[in-house]
Amino acid sequence: MTTRKPDLPRARAALLAPPVTRFAPSPTGYLHLGHVVNAIYTWGVARALGGRVLLRVEDHDRIRSRPEFVEALLEDLDWLGFEPDEGRDPLLRQSDGHSVYEDALDRLRREGRVFGCDCSRTDIGGERYTGRCRDRRLIEQPGLGVRVRIDPGVVRALDLAAGELAQSPAEQCGDLLVKDRDGHWTYQFAATVDDLRQGVTLVIRGDDLETSTGRQVLLARMLGRPTAPLFLHHPLIVDASGRKLSKSAGDTGVRELRAKGVAAADVIGIAAAAVGLLATSTSMEASQVAALFDPGSPSLG
């Protein structure tokens, strides 16, 4: 497998300062090789550009998030050797950000962009929200979702591997759900607000989230962000059926590999080879991953 490397010269030209990026796992399961791939890209590209990495626990899903998963992911990160520059002490958690998200939502309310929505998944019938509740003037209350009006138009962003992205959120997803009917903040809203308030200038994540880019850039613009962050969407490790790894994937779980006696450097090498960053699986320390992306560094395979 081969993979396209990020365009670091273009990143340096676009950034006014060394980037701030984030490693942001959801504690709804244990870390697996897919998370290791994301850590390789996050720390590797950040270090190659002289940037910083924040650790952020995205526990907006209050139903599936578990304290034991948080502890396990911190332990596994330590074992792998990926050390964040910020967000570990104190730990940055989305569950601590309720007032921040409410303030952001208030800004959108004052602009008349927010409305209550009683639509179920069955009512919507697909990924795109049709606008059924836009003009029904439903009062926000427990049991209703909360949406933000998305106007038509093309949103552009720069992906360091794919080049310019052009997306139309109004056509892709329609009015954006920011709080579900159980009162939980959605990923799209919480991640956008956090990236804005934490000064994230480079978002590194898997290819499966590329379609979220336009809606998050547009939402950040509504919240006062004049310049969009840079993005880098990297390949995923997939199973035999072509589906991305799940958090229940036993033979690719970091904890399972540790229990089998696999060394941390070997786990990193296995993950890097699985997405084409290495020609073959080669032991690699976390401190070495920048060499995978910096053209001036020696080849590692």
Over the stretch 222-264, which tens digit does the pLDDT of each residue have? 999 999 999 999 999 986 666 666 655 555 899 999 999 999 9
Q: How many helices (H) and strands (E) does the chain have?
A: 10, 10
CA proximity to 132, closest of 143, 118, 121: 118
What's the pLDDT at 63? 83
d(CA 95, CA 60): 6
What's the pLDDT at 301? 44
- Residue pair 51/21 in contact (Cβ under 8 Å)? The answer is yes
How many Cβ atoms sit within 10 Å of the Cβ of residue 150? 24
CA angle, residues 264, 269, 273, in degrees to nearest 5: 155
Each domain of the chain, given as residue ranges in start order, spans 8-100+186-292
pTM over 0.75: yes
Q: How many residues does the chain have?
A: 301
d(CA 297, CA 260): 32
Residue 129 corresponds to which amino acid? Y
d(CA 245, CA 208): 12
pLDDT tens-digit series, residues 41-57 = 999 999 999 999 999 99
- Residue pair 30/253 in contact (Cβ under 8 Å)? The answer is yes
- Residue 116, CA distances (Å) to 88, 147, 169 in order: 36, 6, 19
Q: Which CATH superfamily is domain 8-100+186-292 in?
A: HUPs (3.40.50.620)
d(CA 150, CA 171): 9
- Residue 283, CA distances (Å) to 142, 241, 267 in order: 52, 27, 8
What's the pLDDT at 295? 64
- The token duo for 221 is 């613009």
d(CA 37, CA 127): 27
Mean model confidence pLDDT for the chain: 92
Model confidence at 4: pLDDT above 80: no
d(CA 95, CA 56): 11
* Higher pLDDT pick, 200 / 249: 200
